[in-house]
Structure 1
Amino acid sequence: MRIAVAQTRGESGRIDANLALLEDRAHAARDAEAGLLVLPELFLTGYNTGPTTAALAEPVDGPSLARAADIARATGTALLFGFAERAGNAVYNAAILIDAAGTVLGCYRKAHLYGDEKQRFSPGAGMPLTAHIGGLRCGVLICYDVEFPEAVRDLALRGCQAVLVPTALPAGMPEIPGLLVRARAYENQIFVAYADRCGEEDGLAYEGRSCIVGPDGVVLAAAGAEEALLVADLDPAAVRTARLRFDYLADRRPNLYARLIV
Protein backbone atom coordinates (compact mmCIF):
# COMPACT_ATOMS: atom_id res chain seq x y z
CA MET A 1 0.00 0.00 0.00
CA ARG A 2 1.18 3.49 -0.80
CA ILE A 3 0.67 5.97 2.02
CA ALA A 4 0.85 9.76 2.14
CA VAL A 5 1.59 11.87 5.23
CA ALA A 6 0.66 15.55 5.10
CA GLN A 7 2.65 17.92 7.30
CA THR A 8 0.53 21.08 7.52
CA ARG A 9 0.10 24.37 9.33
CA GLY A 10 -3.68 24.28 9.24
CA GLU A 11 -5.97 27.13 10.29
CA SER A 12 -6.56 27.50 14.03
CA GLY A 13 -10.28 27.46 14.84
CA ARG A 14 -11.35 27.53 11.18
CA ILE A 15 -12.97 24.20 10.43
CA ASP A 16 -14.18 25.18 6.95
CA ALA A 17 -10.66 26.26 5.94
CA ASN A 18 -9.22 23.00 7.24
CA LEU A 19 -11.80 20.98 5.32
CA ALA A 20 -10.71 22.82 2.18
CA LEU A 21 -7.10 21.97 3.02
CA LEU A 22 -8.11 18.35 3.61
CA GLU A 23 -9.68 18.22 0.17
CA ASP A 24 -6.57 19.73 -1.42
CA ARG A 25 -4.24 17.25 0.29
CA ALA A 26 -6.54 14.33 -0.52
CA HIS A 27 -6.35 15.23 -4.21
CA ALA A 28 -2.55 15.48 -3.94
CA ALA A 29 -2.42 12.04 -2.28
CA ARG A 30 -4.62 10.59 -5.01
CA ASP A 31 -2.38 12.10 -7.68
CA ALA A 32 0.56 10.40 -5.94
CA GLU A 33 -1.41 7.12 -6.11
CA ALA A 34 -1.56 6.85 -2.31
CA GLY A 35 -4.42 4.81 -0.87
CA LEU A 36 -4.27 6.45 2.55
CA LEU A 37 -3.61 10.02 3.72
CA VAL A 38 -2.57 10.71 7.33
CA LEU A 39 -2.85 14.26 8.71
CA PRO A 40 -1.90 15.82 12.07
CA GLU A 41 -3.44 15.79 15.53
CA LEU A 42 -6.54 18.00 15.92
CA PHE A 43 -6.18 18.84 12.23
CA LEU A 44 -9.83 19.79 11.83
CA THR A 45 -9.93 22.42 14.59
CA GLY A 46 -6.35 23.41 15.25
CA TYR A 47 -4.41 22.17 18.26
CA ASN A 48 -3.66 25.25 20.36
CA THR A 49 -7.27 26.41 20.68
CA GLY A 50 -7.37 26.82 24.48
CA PRO A 51 -10.80 27.60 25.96
CA THR A 52 -12.52 27.50 22.55
CA THR A 53 -11.78 23.78 22.14
CA ALA A 54 -15.13 22.62 23.52
CA ALA A 55 -17.07 24.94 21.21
CA LEU A 56 -15.22 23.51 18.18
CA ALA A 57 -15.90 19.89 19.13
CA GLU A 58 -18.49 17.81 17.30
CA PRO A 59 -19.67 14.19 17.38
CA VAL A 60 -18.47 11.53 14.98
CA ASP A 61 -21.71 11.88 13.02
CA GLY A 62 -21.37 15.69 12.83
CA PRO A 63 -21.45 17.75 9.63
CA SER A 64 -17.69 18.28 9.32
CA LEU A 65 -16.99 14.55 9.54
CA ALA A 66 -19.70 13.94 6.94
CA ARG A 67 -17.93 16.40 4.65
CA ALA A 68 -14.63 14.57 5.22
CA ALA A 69 -16.33 11.29 4.28
CA ASP A 70 -17.52 12.93 1.04
CA ILE A 71 -13.92 13.97 0.30
CA ALA A 72 -12.66 10.43 0.90
CA ARG A 73 -15.32 9.04 -1.39
CA ALA A 74 -14.75 11.62 -4.13
CA THR A 75 -10.98 11.13 -4.19
CA GLY A 76 -10.98 7.38 -3.52
CA THR A 77 -8.50 7.98 -0.69
CA ALA A 78 -8.74 6.71 2.89
CA LEU A 79 -8.24 9.44 5.51
CA LEU A 80 -6.93 9.60 9.06
CA PHE A 81 -6.92 12.94 10.88
CA GLY A 82 -7.38 14.46 14.30
CA PHE A 83 -10.42 16.35 15.57
CA ALA A 84 -12.07 17.38 18.84
CA GLU A 85 -14.82 14.83 19.48
CA ARG A 86 -17.89 15.65 21.54
CA ALA A 87 -19.60 12.69 23.21
CA GLY A 88 -22.28 13.83 25.64
CA ASN A 89 -20.66 16.21 28.10
CA ALA A 90 -17.14 14.93 27.36
CA VAL A 91 -14.65 16.23 24.79
CA TYR A 92 -11.89 13.96 23.49
CA ASN A 93 -8.71 14.50 21.53
CA ALA A 94 -9.62 12.02 18.81
CA ALA A 95 -8.63 10.71 15.39
CA ILE A 96 -11.07 9.37 12.83
CA LEU A 97 -10.30 6.76 10.19
CA ILE A 98 -12.42 6.85 7.02
CA ASP A 99 -11.98 4.38 4.17
CA ALA A 100 -11.87 5.22 0.46
CA ALA A 101 -15.61 4.57 0.14
CA GLY A 102 -16.38 7.19 2.79
CA THR A 103 -17.19 4.69 5.53
CA VAL A 104 -16.03 5.50 9.06
CA LEU A 105 -13.87 2.57 10.20
CA GLY A 106 -13.45 3.86 13.72
CA CYS A 107 -12.56 6.68 16.07
CA TYR A 108 -9.64 6.58 18.52
CA ARG A 109 -9.50 8.76 21.65
CA LYS A 110 -6.05 9.79 22.86
CA ALA A 111 -5.20 7.88 26.03
CA HIS A 112 -2.09 9.74 27.23
CA LEU A 113 -2.88 13.45 27.53
CA TYR A 114 -0.02 15.96 27.48
CA GLY A 115 0.24 19.34 29.22
CA ASP A 116 -2.90 21.48 29.13
CA GLU A 117 -4.74 18.75 27.24
CA LYS A 118 -5.59 17.41 30.71
CA GLN A 119 -7.74 20.51 31.29
CA ARG A 120 -9.35 20.49 27.82
CA PHE A 121 -10.04 16.82 27.17
CA SER A 122 -11.19 13.65 28.86
CA PRO A 123 -8.68 10.80 28.49
CA GLY A 124 -9.55 7.95 26.18
CA ALA A 125 -9.96 4.51 27.68
CA GLY A 126 -7.17 3.15 25.49
CA MET A 127 -9.49 1.03 23.38
CA PRO A 128 -7.48 0.17 20.26
CA LEU A 129 -8.46 1.17 16.75
CA THR A 130 -7.23 -1.28 14.15
CA ALA A 131 -8.38 -1.79 10.57
CA HIS A 132 -7.30 -3.33 7.29
CA ILE A 133 -6.46 -0.73 4.65
CA GLY A 134 -4.98 -1.68 1.31
CA GLY A 135 -3.98 -5.14 2.51
CA LEU A 136 -2.20 -3.79 5.60
CA ARG A 137 -3.45 -4.10 9.18
CA CYS A 138 -3.08 -0.65 10.72
CA GLY A 139 -3.40 0.68 14.27
CA VAL A 140 -3.89 4.26 15.42
CA LEU A 141 -2.28 6.27 18.21
CA ILE A 142 -2.10 10.04 18.80
CA CYS A 143 1.12 12.00 19.48
CA TYR A 144 2.20 11.40 23.12
CA ASP A 145 0.73 7.86 22.98
CA VAL A 146 3.57 6.69 20.73
CA GLU A 147 6.11 7.71 23.37
CA PHE A 148 4.86 4.89 25.60
CA PRO A 149 6.37 1.60 24.38
CA GLU A 150 3.48 -0.41 25.81
CA ALA A 151 0.96 1.31 23.53
CA VAL A 152 2.83 0.45 20.34
CA ARG A 153 3.68 -3.06 21.52
CA ASP A 154 -0.01 -3.70 22.22
CA LEU A 155 -0.90 -2.85 18.62
CA ALA A 156 1.95 -5.00 17.30
CA LEU A 157 0.72 -7.93 19.38
CA ARG A 158 -2.74 -7.40 17.90
CA GLY A 159 -1.24 -8.06 14.49
CA CYS A 160 -0.78 -4.50 13.26
CA GLN A 161 1.86 -4.11 10.57
CA ALA A 162 1.72 -0.30 10.66
CA VAL A 163 0.98 2.27 13.36
CA LEU A 164 -0.38 5.62 12.19
CA VAL A 165 0.23 8.62 14.44
CA PRO A 166 -1.35 12.06 13.97
CA THR A 167 0.67 14.44 16.17
CA ALA A 168 1.20 18.05 17.22
CA LEU A 169 4.75 17.90 18.56
CA PRO A 170 6.05 21.22 19.95
CA ALA A 171 9.34 22.58 18.62
CA GLY A 172 12.52 21.65 20.46
CA MET A 173 11.92 17.89 20.56
CA PRO A 174 13.73 16.55 17.47
CA GLU A 175 14.62 13.36 19.33
CA ILE A 176 11.00 12.20 19.18
CA PRO A 177 10.78 11.76 15.39
CA GLY A 178 14.55 11.37 14.98
CA LEU A 179 15.11 8.67 17.60
CA LEU A 180 12.02 7.47 19.42
CA VAL A 181 9.72 6.92 16.43
CA ARG A 182 12.46 4.95 14.69
CA ALA A 183 12.95 2.87 17.84
CA ARG A 184 9.22 2.08 18.04
CA ALA A 185 9.30 0.83 14.45
CA TYR A 186 12.48 -1.20 14.98
CA GLU A 187 11.60 -2.79 18.34
CA ASN A 188 8.20 -3.93 17.03
CA GLN A 189 9.35 -4.57 13.44
CA ILE A 190 6.46 -2.59 11.98
CA PHE A 191 5.93 0.58 9.93
CA VAL A 192 5.27 3.84 11.77
CA ALA A 193 3.83 6.92 10.05
CA TYR A 194 4.15 10.12 12.11
CA ALA A 195 2.23 13.19 10.86
CA ASP A 196 3.10 16.45 12.64
CA ARG A 197 1.90 20.01 12.35
CA CYS A 198 4.39 22.73 11.38
CA GLY A 199 4.81 26.48 11.70
CA GLU A 200 3.22 28.37 14.60
CA GLU A 201 -0.25 28.55 16.09
CA ASP A 202 -1.12 31.30 18.55
CA GLY A 203 2.44 31.40 19.87
CA LEU A 204 3.04 27.65 19.88
CA ALA A 205 5.74 26.49 17.44
CA TYR A 206 5.71 22.95 16.10
CA GLU A 207 8.66 20.66 15.41
CA GLY A 208 7.57 19.33 12.02
CA ARG A 209 9.90 16.48 11.00
CA SER A 210 7.05 14.17 10.05
CA CYS A 211 8.31 10.78 8.92
CA ILE A 212 7.50 7.32 7.66
CA VAL A 213 9.74 4.59 9.10
CA GLY A 214 10.15 0.98 7.99
CA PRO A 215 10.16 -2.15 10.19
CA ASP A 216 13.97 -2.15 10.10
CA GLY A 217 14.08 1.37 11.57
CA VAL A 218 15.10 2.93 8.25
CA VAL A 219 13.45 6.28 7.45
CA LEU A 220 11.54 5.92 4.18
CA ALA A 221 10.48 9.57 3.95
CA ALA A 222 10.99 12.62 6.16
CA ALA A 223 10.02 16.29 6.23
CA GLY A 224 11.85 19.31 7.56
CA ALA A 225 10.19 22.28 9.25
CA GLU A 226 7.88 23.32 6.40
CA GLU A 227 4.70 21.95 4.85
CA ALA A 228 5.26 18.72 2.95
CA LEU A 229 3.56 15.66 1.52
CA LEU A 230 5.51 12.47 2.20
CA VAL A 231 4.84 9.35 0.18
CA ALA A 232 6.11 5.81 0.75
CA ASP A 233 5.17 2.24 -0.13
CA LEU A 234 4.36 -0.01 2.83
CA ASP A 235 4.83 -3.62 1.80
CA PRO A 236 3.71 -6.28 4.33
CA ALA A 237 6.56 -8.46 3.05
CA ALA A 238 9.00 -6.00 4.64
CA VAL A 239 7.56 -6.85 8.06
CA ARG A 240 8.08 -10.57 7.42
CA THR A 241 11.61 -9.94 6.16
CA ALA A 242 12.52 -7.91 9.25
CA ARG A 243 11.47 -10.82 11.46
CA LEU A 244 13.42 -13.49 9.60
CA ARG A 245 16.72 -12.66 11.29
CA PHE A 246 15.17 -12.28 14.74
CA ASP A 247 11.61 -11.77 15.97
CA TYR A 248 11.12 -9.60 19.04
CA LEU A 249 7.44 -10.49 19.37
CA ALA A 250 7.98 -14.25 19.12
CA ASP A 251 10.98 -14.21 21.47
CA ARG A 252 9.27 -12.29 24.28
CA ARG A 253 8.97 -13.86 27.76
CA PRO A 254 5.92 -12.08 29.22
CA ASN A 255 6.08 -13.98 32.52
CA LEU A 256 9.29 -12.10 33.32
CA TYR A 257 7.69 -8.70 32.78
CA ALA A 258 4.39 -9.08 34.66
CA ARG A 259 5.53 -6.83 37.51
CA LEU A 260 5.97 -3.93 35.07
CA ILE A 261 2.20 -3.76 34.49
CA VAL A 262 0.54 -2.22 37.55
Structure 2
Amino acid sequence: MDNECASDTKDIIGEKCDTYEDRIRQEKKRQRLSSGDIKMASASKPLDLSDLMNEIRGVKSSIMKGQANMERKMDEMKTDLSKKIETRIKQVKDELFLEMSAMETKLSALEIKVNSNMAGQGVTGNQPARNTPSCIVIFRNAKLVTTNEDTMRGLLSSICTAIGCADTEFTGVTWIALPRGQNNGIIKATVATEAQVKALFKAKSKLKDTPQYASIYIERDRSRHERIMEANMRNLAKAVPNLTFTRGRLTVNAQPVTADPPVVQAPPNGTNVNTPPQPDPPPDNA
Protein backbone atom coordinates (compact mmCIF):
# COMPACT_ATOMS: atom_id res chain seq x y z
CA MET A 1 0.00 0.00 0.00
CA ASP A 2 2.80 2.40 0.90
CA ASN A 3 4.73 1.50 -2.28
CA GLU A 4 1.74 2.26 -4.46
CA CYS A 5 1.34 5.71 -2.87
CA ALA A 6 5.02 6.49 -3.36
CA SER A 7 4.90 5.49 -7.02
CA ASP A 8 1.83 7.60 -7.56
CA THR A 9 3.52 10.57 -5.92
CA LYS A 10 6.62 10.12 -8.08
CA ASP A 11 4.53 10.02 -11.22
CA ILE A 12 2.75 13.19 -10.24
CA ILE A 13 6.01 14.95 -9.44
CA GLY A 14 7.57 13.78 -12.68
CA GLU A 15 4.58 14.94 -14.64
CA LYS A 16 4.81 18.36 -13.05
CA CYS A 17 8.49 18.66 -13.88
CA ASP A 18 7.88 17.60 -17.45
CA THR A 19 5.12 20.23 -17.82
CA TYR A 20 7.34 23.06 -16.49
CA GLU A 21 10.17 22.16 -18.85
CA ASP A 22 7.74 22.04 -21.73
CA ARG A 23 6.63 25.53 -20.87
CA ILE A 24 10.21 26.80 -20.82
CA ARG A 25 10.92 25.20 -24.20
CA GLN A 26 7.76 26.67 -25.70
CA GLU A 27 8.63 30.16 -24.38
CA LYS A 28 12.14 30.02 -25.84
CA LYS A 29 10.76 28.81 -29.14
CA ARG A 30 8.24 31.62 -29.20
CA GLN A 31 10.97 34.20 -28.49
CA ARG A 32 13.13 32.82 -31.34
CA LEU A 33 10.20 32.98 -33.73
CA SER A 34 9.32 36.54 -32.73
CA SER A 35 12.92 37.77 -33.18
CA GLY A 36 13.02 36.12 -36.57
CA ASP A 37 9.78 37.84 -37.59
CA ILE A 38 11.20 41.21 -36.57
CA LYS A 39 14.36 40.64 -38.61
CA MET A 40 12.36 39.53 -41.61
CA ALA A 41 10.04 42.53 -41.31
CA SER A 42 12.93 45.00 -41.04
CA ALA A 43 14.68 43.39 -43.98
CA SER A 44 11.55 43.34 -46.12
CA LYS A 45 10.68 47.05 -45.53
CA PRO A 46 13.54 49.42 -46.56
CA LEU A 47 13.70 53.12 -45.59
CA ASP A 48 11.33 55.16 -47.84
CA LEU A 49 13.09 58.49 -48.64
CA SER A 50 10.26 59.79 -50.79
CA ASP A 51 7.88 59.81 -47.83
CA LEU A 52 10.47 61.61 -45.74
CA MET A 53 11.03 64.26 -48.45
CA ASN A 54 7.28 64.77 -48.80
CA GLU A 55 7.01 65.29 -45.07
CA ILE A 56 9.84 67.85 -45.15
CA ARG A 57 8.13 69.68 -48.02
CA GLY A 58 4.90 69.77 -46.05
CA VAL A 59 6.68 71.26 -43.03
CA LYS A 60 8.36 73.92 -45.22
CA SER A 61 5.03 74.78 -46.84
CA SER A 62 3.41 75.16 -43.42
CA ILE A 63 6.23 77.46 -42.29
CA MET A 64 5.91 79.64 -45.42
CA LYS A 65 2.15 79.87 -45.01
CA GLY A 66 2.56 80.87 -41.38
CA GLN A 67 5.10 83.55 -42.32
CA ALA A 68 2.83 84.94 -45.05
CA ASN A 69 -0.09 84.99 -42.64
CA MET A 70 2.00 86.83 -40.05
CA GLU A 71 3.15 89.43 -42.62
CA ARG A 72 -0.45 89.96 -43.74
CA LYS A 73 -1.54 90.51 -40.16
CA MET A 74 1.33 92.98 -39.64
CA ASP A 75 0.28 94.94 -42.75
CA GLU A 76 -3.31 95.02 -41.52
CA MET A 77 -2.10 96.22 -38.13
CA LYS A 78 -0.06 99.02 -39.73
CA THR A 79 -3.00 100.13 -41.87
CA ASP A 80 -5.33 100.07 -38.90
CA LEU A 81 -2.84 102.03 -36.81
CA SER A 82 -2.46 104.67 -39.57
CA LYS A 83 -6.23 105.08 -39.82
CA LYS A 84 -6.56 105.39 -36.05
CA ILE A 85 -3.83 108.04 -35.92
CA GLU A 86 -5.44 110.07 -38.72
CA THR A 87 -8.84 109.80 -37.04
CA ARG A 88 -7.39 110.88 -33.72
CA ILE A 89 -5.61 113.85 -35.33
CA LYS A 90 -8.90 115.00 -36.85
CA GLN A 91 -10.67 114.62 -33.51
CA VAL A 92 -7.98 116.62 -31.71
CA LYS A 93 -8.15 119.38 -34.33
CA ASP A 94 -11.93 119.61 -34.03
CA GLU A 95 -11.74 119.66 -30.24
CA LEU A 96 -9.09 122.39 -30.30
CA PHE A 97 -11.16 124.42 -32.74
CA LEU A 98 -14.23 124.22 -30.49
CA GLU A 99 -12.18 125.11 -27.41
CA MET A 100 -10.58 128.07 -29.17
CA SER A 101 -13.98 129.26 -30.36
CA ALA A 102 -15.35 129.07 -26.83
CA MET A 103 -12.37 130.99 -25.46
CA GLU A 104 -12.72 133.67 -28.13
CA THR A 105 -16.40 133.99 -27.32
CA LYS A 106 -15.61 134.49 -23.63
CA LEU A 107 -12.94 137.07 -24.47
CA SER A 108 -15.34 138.96 -26.71
CA ALA A 109 -17.97 138.97 -23.95
CA LEU A 110 -15.40 140.25 -21.44
CA GLU A 111 -14.31 143.03 -23.82
CA ILE A 112 -17.92 144.09 -24.36
CA LYS A 113 -18.44 144.15 -20.60
CA VAL A 114 -15.27 146.19 -20.03
CA ASN A 115 -16.18 148.65 -22.78
CA SER A 116 -19.68 149.08 -21.35
CA ASN A 117 -18.26 149.71 -17.89
CA MET A 118 -15.79 152.21 -19.28
CA ALA A 119 -18.59 153.94 -21.22
CA GLY A 120 -20.71 154.08 -18.05
CA GLN A 121 -17.82 155.72 -16.19
CA GLY A 122 -17.33 158.26 -18.97
CA VAL A 123 -14.05 156.79 -20.22
CA THR A 124 -13.77 156.66 -24.00
CA GLY A 125 -11.10 155.24 -26.22
CA ASN A 126 -10.51 154.13 -29.76
CA GLN A 127 -10.78 150.33 -29.52
CA PRO A 128 -10.25 148.69 -32.91
CA ALA A 129 -12.42 145.72 -33.75
CA ARG A 130 -10.73 142.40 -32.97
CA ASN A 131 -10.08 140.19 -35.94
CA THR A 132 -10.28 136.93 -34.00
CA PRO A 133 -8.87 133.72 -35.53
CA SER A 134 -12.17 131.94 -34.84
CA CYS A 135 -13.91 134.26 -37.35
CA ILE A 136 -11.30 133.89 -40.10
CA VAL A 137 -12.01 131.30 -42.80
CA ILE A 138 -9.61 130.15 -45.52
CA PHE A 139 -10.88 129.23 -49.00
CA ARG A 140 -8.22 127.21 -50.88
CA ASN A 141 -7.94 126.51 -54.62
CA ALA A 142 -9.85 129.65 -55.52
CA LYS A 143 -9.39 130.57 -59.18
CA LEU A 144 -9.99 134.18 -60.21
CA VAL A 145 -9.03 136.13 -63.29
CA THR A 146 -9.29 139.46 -61.45
CA THR A 147 -8.58 139.61 -57.73
CA ASN A 148 -10.41 142.75 -56.70
CA GLU A 149 -12.64 142.79 -53.61
CA ASP A 150 -15.94 142.68 -55.52
CA THR A 151 -14.88 139.60 -57.50
CA MET A 152 -13.77 137.78 -54.35
CA ARG A 153 -16.97 138.64 -52.50
CA GLY A 154 -19.03 137.45 -55.47
CA LEU A 155 -17.18 134.11 -55.53
CA LEU A 156 -17.60 133.61 -51.78
CA SER A 157 -21.28 134.49 -51.99
CA SER A 158 -21.79 131.92 -54.76
CA ILE A 159 -19.97 129.25 -52.74
CA CYS A 160 -22.02 129.92 -49.61
CA THR A 161 -25.26 129.87 -51.60
CA ALA A 162 -24.32 126.52 -53.16
CA ILE A 163 -23.90 124.88 -49.73
CA GLY A 164 -26.94 126.50 -48.14
CA CYS A 165 -25.26 129.32 -46.19
CA ALA A 166 -26.47 132.30 -48.20
CA ASP A 167 -26.84 134.44 -45.04
CA THR A 168 -23.07 134.38 -44.37
CA GLU A 169 -21.70 137.92 -44.14
CA PHE A 170 -18.04 138.71 -44.83
CA THR A 171 -16.51 141.80 -43.23
CA GLY A 172 -13.16 141.50 -44.98
CA VAL A 173 -11.49 139.53 -47.79
CA THR A 174 -7.82 139.18 -48.74
CA TRP A 175 -6.25 137.50 -51.75
CA ILE A 176 -3.09 135.38 -51.25
CA ALA A 177 -1.47 134.30 -54.50
CA LEU A 178 0.24 130.91 -54.80
CA PRO A 179 3.37 130.22 -56.85
CA ARG A 180 1.70 127.41 -58.81
CA GLY A 181 -0.33 129.74 -60.99
CA GLN A 182 -1.26 133.36 -61.46
CA ASN A 183 -5.02 132.80 -61.12
CA ASN A 184 -4.79 130.18 -58.37
CA GLY A 185 -4.67 131.30 -54.76
CA ILE A 186 -6.22 131.53 -51.31
CA ILE A 187 -8.97 133.83 -50.11
CA LYS A 188 -8.67 134.80 -46.46
CA ALA A 189 -12.10 135.99 -45.37
CA THR A 190 -13.40 137.35 -42.06
CA VAL A 191 -16.93 136.22 -41.17
CA ALA A 192 -19.22 138.52 -39.18
CA THR A 193 -20.20 136.09 -36.40
CA GLU A 194 -18.96 132.81 -34.98
CA ALA A 195 -22.38 131.24 -35.49
CA GLN A 196 -22.02 131.80 -39.23
CA VAL A 197 -18.55 130.23 -39.10
CA LYS A 198 -19.91 127.10 -37.40
CA ALA A 199 -22.74 126.83 -39.92
CA LEU A 200 -20.22 127.22 -42.74
CA PHE A 201 -18.04 124.40 -41.42
CA LYS A 202 -21.02 122.11 -40.92
CA ALA A 203 -22.10 122.58 -44.54
CA LYS A 204 -18.66 122.55 -46.22
CA SER A 205 -18.96 118.82 -47.01
CA LYS A 206 -21.61 119.73 -49.61
CA LEU A 207 -18.91 121.25 -51.83
CA LYS A 208 -17.98 117.81 -53.18
CA ASP A 209 -21.52 117.47 -54.55
CA THR A 210 -21.16 120.74 -56.49
CA PRO A 211 -19.03 120.16 -59.61
CA GLN A 212 -18.26 123.87 -59.97
CA TYR A 213 -16.72 124.16 -56.47
CA ALA A 214 -15.63 120.54 -55.82
CA SER A 215 -11.93 121.54 -55.79
CA ILE A 216 -12.36 124.28 -53.16
CA TYR A 217 -11.49 123.52 -49.54
CA ILE A 218 -12.73 125.49 -46.55
CA GLU A 219 -10.64 125.52 -43.39
CA ARG A 220 -10.06 127.74 -40.42
CA ASP A 221 -7.08 130.01 -39.91
CA ARG A 222 -4.32 128.43 -37.85
CA SER A 223 -1.54 129.85 -35.75
CA ARG A 224 2.12 128.99 -36.26
CA HIS A 225 2.07 126.61 -33.29
CA GLU A 226 -0.91 124.73 -34.71
CA ARG A 227 0.75 124.43 -38.13
CA ILE A 228 3.90 122.97 -36.54
CA MET A 229 1.86 120.51 -34.49
CA GLU A 230 -0.10 119.40 -37.55
CA ALA A 231 3.10 118.97 -39.58
CA ASN A 232 4.61 116.84 -36.81
CA MET A 233 1.53 114.62 -36.63
CA ARG A 234 1.51 114.30 -40.43
CA ASN A 235 5.16 113.22 -40.41
CA LEU A 236 4.36 110.71 -37.69
CA ALA A 237 1.51 109.27 -39.75
CA LYS A 238 3.80 109.01 -42.80
CA ALA A 239 6.44 107.18 -40.75
CA VAL A 240 4.02 104.45 -39.67
CA PRO A 241 4.72 102.18 -42.73
CA ASN A 242 8.43 102.25 -41.77
CA LEU A 243 7.72 100.83 -38.31
CA THR A 244 8.17 97.17 -37.48
CA PHE A 245 7.09 95.09 -34.51
CA THR A 246 10.11 93.09 -33.32
CA ARG A 247 9.66 90.86 -30.27
CA GLY A 248 6.74 92.93 -29.10
CA ARG A 249 8.52 96.27 -29.56
CA LEU A 250 7.79 98.99 -32.12
CA THR A 251 11.01 99.87 -33.96
CA VAL A 252 11.92 101.88 -37.08
CA ASN A 253 13.16 99.95 -40.09
CA ALA A 254 16.92 100.23 -40.50
CA GLN A 255 18.04 102.39 -43.40
CA PRO A 256 20.53 100.88 -45.86
CA VAL A 257 24.05 101.89 -44.90
CA THR A 258 26.23 102.96 -47.80
CA ALA A 259 29.84 101.98 -47.67
CA ASP A 260 32.28 104.86 -47.36
CA PRO A 261 34.65 105.30 -50.30
CA PRO A 262 38.19 104.07 -49.64
CA VAL A 263 40.54 106.75 -48.40
CA VAL A 264 43.61 107.14 -50.59
CA GLN A 265 46.57 108.36 -48.59
CA ALA A 266 48.94 110.78 -50.24
CA PRO A 267 52.49 109.48 -50.78
CA PRO A 268 55.19 110.96 -48.54
CA ASN A 269 57.31 113.94 -49.58
CA GLY A 270 54.72 115.00 -52.14
CA THR A 271 55.87 112.48 -54.78
CA ASN A 272 53.54 111.43 -57.53
CA VAL A 273 52.19 107.87 -57.44
CA ASN A 274 52.51 107.44 -61.21
CA THR A 275 56.18 108.62 -61.30
CA PRO A 276 58.66 105.70 -61.44
CA PRO A 277 61.26 105.59 -58.68
CA GLN A 278 64.43 107.55 -59.49
CA PRO A 279 67.92 106.15 -58.83
CA ASP A 280 69.98 107.59 -56.02
CA PRO A 281 72.48 110.30 -57.08
CA PRO A 282 76.18 109.26 -57.23
CA PRO A 283 78.31 110.14 -54.21
CA ASP A 284 80.48 113.26 -54.43
CA ASN A 285 84.23 112.61 -54.92
CA ALA A 286 86.06 114.63 -52.36
Give the TM-score, by structure 2 length. Answer: 0.20
Which structure would you say has the larger Rg? 2
More helix by share: 2
**Higher RCO (C-alpha 8 Å, min separation 6):** 1
More strand by share: 1
TM-score, scaled relative to structure 1: 0.22
